[in-house]
Structure 1
Amino acid sequence: MIVRRCVGLLALPLLLGCCVVHAAPPRGFDVLHYSVALVPDIAAKRVQGQQTVRFKAEQALSTLTLDAGTLEVTSVTQHGRALAFAQAGQQLHITLATPLQRGASAELQIRYHGAPAFGLTFAPEREEVYTLFSTSQWMPSVDAPDERATLDLAVTLPPALLAAGTGRALPTRTLADGRIEHRWRLDTPMPGYVYGFAAGRYQQATQQHGPVQLRYLSVERSPAQLRTVFARTGDMLDFFAERAGLPYRGDYQQALVASTIGQEMAGLSLMSEAYGQDVLDDADQIALMAHEAAHHWWGNRVTCAGWEHFWLNEGMANFMTAAYLQQAQGEAAYQAQVDGWRTRLDALRAKGADHALVYADWDAPTADDRAVVYRKGAYVLHLLRGELGDAVFWRGLRAYTVANDGRSVVTADFQRAMETAAGHSLQPFFDEWVYTAGTAAQ
């Protein structure tokens, strides 16, 4: 996944020679559950929505602030009573009717509409709509990756369309006008950026891989072609589960949509139709789907606590992709990935664009910033693997993943797990490669 824009970040000083810890802006509340009902108008590229937000006060609370992108909120109510609210700077500020004491819970209802410029992508020529990362552009929510909540999602669509969404599918409902309400429930709290859905005039194929049902969707590809494109999906899930020490849970869906560089969601990954054709042309072009599959452990289940630690999501997914290619396609495939990372890092350093992996300025990342997080991050994991040896490295990575399943993490959590596996301090390595720009590529 490539992040287009993240909001609400706190600039943190980088402390040389020690671990930068998470210091998210205090919200004063914890979202427990979202219940969202959407009605997208694909032809008009607009959406209407209503939702219930259940939250708990973590301090005395009189105002609830959510990210809301460019959505226009029309009403906020609590038990049928209208609440005062204001929108500014892509945020929604709601004044509670009665201040909450710490530990108290409450629910609010929000109605809204809008024409998101991103986050919700419409392709009318394909009768398709799908989400891409910026969840607050289609439902008021908390953008921060350390905020986890459960979700009920309903999307009302024309009857000819198929849909996939985050969470387990619930029975659809046929409305009086013939439209279909597609519903999903996410029972495990997840960060909001992995919420989403895709809908279109899809063809589909399904396969059973052990306890996991695999489902593939595309407008342009036949069921037989979809099985060919995603032939390695089950093997990928098995590999990542073994390395993580955690089995994949739930079912897994992959959709080829009009255009995307790739997007992971909870139980759902999106890739482009063009990418699907690439795989049909060359069966070895599986790195992108492996990257998105890897995120279901490193990104979704173990999530960076703040964007300054984003390399724990993206550098890890890139590295794990290469590790899978090493198993599936041989050592040369792994080394080709490593060579690509090293070459990009050399280019960053030549232009003075290299910097620490842990850094505060991820609000509007440049291509060079993304290269640091994605490619340098993966390269540093490769170097750590070489320093520790395979047995210690994989033992440490497994311990890190198992211990932090369902948690938000900072780089210090990863460092501690690897030090425990190694039996000694790794501070010099992390000082050189993670907390500072590092030295010349090895």
Structure 2
Amino acid sequence: MLPTSRPTAPRRRLRAALLTAAAACLVAAVLPPPEPTPLGIGDPLFPHLGNPGYDVAEYDIAFTYHGGNTTPLDAVTKIDAWATERLERVNLDFSHGTVSAVQVNGLPAEFATAGEDLVVEPLLPLEAGSRLRITVEHTSDPRGEGSAGGWVRTSDGLAMANQADAAHRVFPSNDHPADKALFTFRITAPSELTAVANGVRESKKKHGSTTTWGYRTRHPMATELAQVSIGTSAVPTREGPGGLPLRDVVPAKDRTALERWLKKTPDQLKWMEGKVGRYPFETYGVLIADAETGYELETQTLSLFERRLFVNGLFPEWYVDSIMVHELAHQWFGDSVSPRTWADLWLNEGHATWYEALYSEEKAGHPLEARMREAYRRSDQWRAEGGPPAAPKPPSPGQKISLFRPVVYDGSALVLYALRQTIGNDAFDRLERAWVSDYRDGTATTQDFARLAGRIADRDLTAFFQGWLYAERTPAMPGHADWRTSVPAKAAVPAKPPAR
């Protein structure tokens, strides 16, 4: 039947819409999709780190270790997340492994690499607010330049050192501390080895010549704090304050020799809790690895230390104790309260250095004021070399851990000393406790800290923080008019401090 009159307006609009849709499909069929490109969340120091459009809730990561620390591990990484915007593609940070298959919500997905991103294209677009599960079958390669981070090869296996941007050398992820998530690890290894990871062990199952170990965190964690240790290890246990379960991971051959250090942890925890409140996680311990990394690291619930720090006799006891407290303090400052951007790093390292120095004063008689006066003397030079504490210069090309310069350690602890001089000891102590309580299990910025300090001190601290955190030259130290800085020199960048 042919129509005897012209279509009405709604029918004309419908016909136009159908023609437009048909034209769009024709164009899509003719034009190839845009090339995969690496993305980022806009961190000024690591512009391609992290990815927009989704929020990770949980990682479930399975590693199969075949018994040689130069052989790639087989792995399956499952990522449960929420789409925060409509996504036709999902970018994950991942490098240093081979991807064999990807699924999104149980359906096969196309994938490609772009820079250090794995770009996943699901069969159907993901709508904002929808839940998604991404499953990636891949290898995880421990070979390569050790200074780049990721897997650390030890004398008997592997450990992890992912700070600042190296977790994606180990597993696909949204590799930025702004997106914290729960973690489950399942590690299969030859049964003569021991596998340990962040959190609490939930399972251990033997299958012939291999054993699968299962661990889960009970608090969200940044990817840079993930830890998996595989090796010929002993795992001594004990109790901390309030019955907190403690477990250490050490080379089995050194179990007895290291006990004098391991038994210090309960008292160190008690000391830290006396300063800032209850320990924020489900367990704690130290992982002593027979490897040379050049640093120690605050991986969540299981801090990484080099074996030589404890057994070579090169360092005095008070110094080793203070480094142990430095990494312990990070469990509050950096792990529980994580930086929103990497420019907020001073909040991590400045606080850990502060409690390291305070512990040395109270327990070993090394005056905090003397250390801060020396830091003040050198502060202008540190600012010239690395930038102000809250506006650090980008890391050197190809040396991303060069971000960890003296200005974020003693140079940032100096800011806290100046703040205490300004607002008084009582207000400062209340600020520290409120900071780790108010932002527990979350992320926070320099601006958050400044606002909280002003509220607790009941005064405007804008000028204080502007000068101490962002100025090229160090302000005058309150209460110490005689302190002077040295003239900044164009010296070589100092060696990286031993603790991160």
Q: Distance in 2 between matches of 1:166 and 1:29?
A: 24
Q: What secondary structure does 1:396 align onto?
A: helix
Which residue in the other structure is 1:128 paired with?
A: 157
Aligned equivalent of 1:144, options 156, 176, 191: 176
Q: What secondary structure does 1:100 align onto?
A: coil
Q: 1:278 to 1:415 in 2, by over 3 A?
A: farther
- Correspondence list, 1:334-373, <5 A: 334-335=368-369, 337-339=371-373, 341-348=375-382, 352-359=384-391, 361-362=393-394, 364=396, 365=400, 367=402, 370-373=405-408
Residue 244 of structure 1 and its aligned partner are, at CA, apart by: 2.3
Which residue in the other structure is 1:270 paired with?
A: 304
Which residue in the other structure is 1:312 paired with?
A: 347
- Are 2:225 and 1:194 aligned? yes
Overall identity of the aligned pairs, in %: 24
Q: Distance in 2 between matches of 1:26 and 1:78?
A: 17
- Correspondence list, 1:106-255, <5 A: 106-116=132-142, 117=144, 118-123=149-154, 126-133=155-162, 134-176=166-208, 178-210=209-241, 211-219=243-251, 222-255=254-287
Q: 1:49 to 1:417 in 2, by over 3 A?
A: same
Using the TM superposition, name which of 55-64 and 155-164 deviates more.
155-164
Q: What secondary structure does 2:65 align onto?
A: strand
Which is richer in strand?
Answer: 1
Q: 1:422 to 1:240 in 2, by over 3 A?
A: same
What CA deviation, in whole Å up to 9, does each residue of 1:41-86 have, x standing for no partner?
4343422211211110111122111110222211101355321111
Q: 1:322 to 1:356 in 2, by over 3 A?
A: same
Aligned equivalent of 1:404, options 421, 439, 448: 439
Q: Distance in 1 between matches of 2:276 and 2:214?
A: 30
Q: Distance in 2 between matches of 1:201 and 1:38?
A: 17
Q: Is the 8 A contact 1:225 1:280 kept in 2?
A: no
Which residue in the other structure is 1:84 paired with?
A: 110
Residue 282 of structure 1 and its aligned partner are, at CA, apart by: 3.4
Q: Distance in 2 between matches of 1:440 and 1:360?
A: 17
Q: Is the 8 A contact 1:76 1:84 kept in 2?
A: yes
Q: Distance in 2 between matches of 1:294 and 1:160?
A: 34
Q: Is the 8 A contact 1:11 1:360 kept in 2?
A: no
Q: Distance in 2 between matches of 1:200 and 1:338?
A: 41
Q: 1:353 to 1:323 in 2, by over 3 A?
A: same
RMSD: 2.5
Residue 435 of structure 1 and its aligned partner are, at CA, apart by: 2.0
Q: Is the 8 A contact 1:68 1:136 kept in 2?
A: yes
Q: What secondary structure does 1:155 align onto?
A: strand
Aligned equivalent of 2:54, options 23, 29, 32: 29
Q: 1:75 to 1:172 in 2, by over 3 A?
A: same
- Between the two structures, name the one with larger relative contact order (CA 8 Å, sep ≥ 6): 1
Say how many residue pairs are matched: 420
TM-score by length of 2: 0.78
Q: Distance in 1 between matches of 2:391 and 2:64?
A: 39
Using the TM superposition, name which of 160-169 and 403-412 deviates more.
160-169
Residue 93 of structure 1 and its aligned partner are, at CA, apart by: 0.8
Q: Is the 8 A contact 1:204 1:222 kept in 2?
A: no
In structure 1, runs of 5+ residues without a counterpart are: 1-6, 14-23
Query: Aligned AA for 1:87?
Result: T
Q: What secondary structure does 1:379 align onto?
A: helix
Q: What secondary structure does 1:156 align onto?
A: strand
Q: Is the 8 A contact 1:47 1:138 kept in 2?
A: no
Q: Is the 8 A contact 2:361 2:367 kept in 1?
A: yes
Q: Distance in 1 between matches of 2:258 and 2:185?
A: 26
Q: Distance in 1 between matches of 2:374 and 2:159?
A: 31
Q: Distance in 2 between matches of 1:93 and 1:361?
A: 30
